[in-house]
């Protein structure tokens, strides 16, 4: 980095003032800054398996609280992606270990949307639709967090967005989330 911009780290160290909080999957193929076309320092990032946001997760709650109360982000993006291993694993039998309780949050999403998902006969299309439904559900979870809801009601921000990244094509799909 210093070879192409000798002041890169000096500028990065000054402060962070991102307008975005990005909540995405831990998958190494989905780096937020690259597909959003932005530089380090322009997005505050929280990642976990299958971009789950749950009120019982103190890490996610702390990140969201800090982003809204301290950084005063204008946008919160929940981004899933097609070919997500966490979502795929939630559609299969239990795998054991620490992953199962985490995947139960997505299995709950499956249960609540079982009729729609059962109506999709093509397995890949069903899997893609579950990725989308999971993003929509996590957006709703974010929008219902008191600090997010209260900030939005008083200032109009942060706005919550649901995106799906298609790894195969590089397409970023806006699900047009409306709380």
- Bridging pattern class, strands 159-166 and 171-174: antiparallel
Is there a catalytic annotation at residue 75?
Answer: no
Q: Which residues pair with 163 in a beta bridge?
A: 79, 174
* Annotated active-site residue in 81, 105, 128, 161: 81
What secondary structure, in 3-state letters, does 68-132 show?
Answer: HHCCCCCEEEEEEECCCHHHHHHCCCCCCCCHHHHHHHHHHHHHHCHHHHHCCCCHHHHHHHHHH
Per the residue annotation, which of 5, 29, 94, 150 is the catalytic one? Answer: 29
Q: Catalytic: 128? A: no
Q: From the CA atom positions of the chain, what is the Rg in Å?
A: 17
Annotation marks residue 29 as catalytic: yes
Active-site option among 46, 79, 84, 139 = 84
Q: Which of 27, 79, 139, 161 is catalytic?
A: 27
Contact at 8 Å (CB) between 161 and 139? Answer: yes
Catalytic residues: 25, 27, 29, 81, 84
């Amino acid at each position: 980095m210093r070879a192409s911009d000798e002041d890169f780290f000096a500028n990065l160290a000054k402060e962070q003032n991102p307008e975005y909080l990005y909540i995405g999957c831990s998958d190494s193929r989905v780096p937020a800054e690259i597909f959003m076309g932005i530089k380090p320092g322009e997005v505050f990032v929280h990642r976990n398996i299958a971009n789950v946001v749950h009120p019982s997760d103190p890490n996610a709650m702390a990140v969201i609280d800090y982003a809204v109360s301290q950084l005063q982000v204008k946008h919160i993006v929940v981004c899933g992606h097609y070919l997500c291993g966490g979502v795929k694993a939630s559609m299969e039998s239990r795998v054991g270990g620490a992953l199962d309780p985490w995947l139960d949050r997505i299995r709950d999403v499956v249960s609540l949307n079982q009729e729609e998902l059962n109506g999709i006969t093509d397995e890949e299309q069903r899997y893609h639709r579950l990725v989308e439904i999971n993003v929509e559900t996590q957006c709703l979870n974010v929008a219902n967090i008191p600090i997010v809801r209260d900030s939005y009601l008083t200032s109009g921000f942060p706005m919550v967005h649901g995106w799906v990244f298609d790894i195969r094509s590089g397409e970023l799909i806006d699900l047009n989330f409306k709380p």
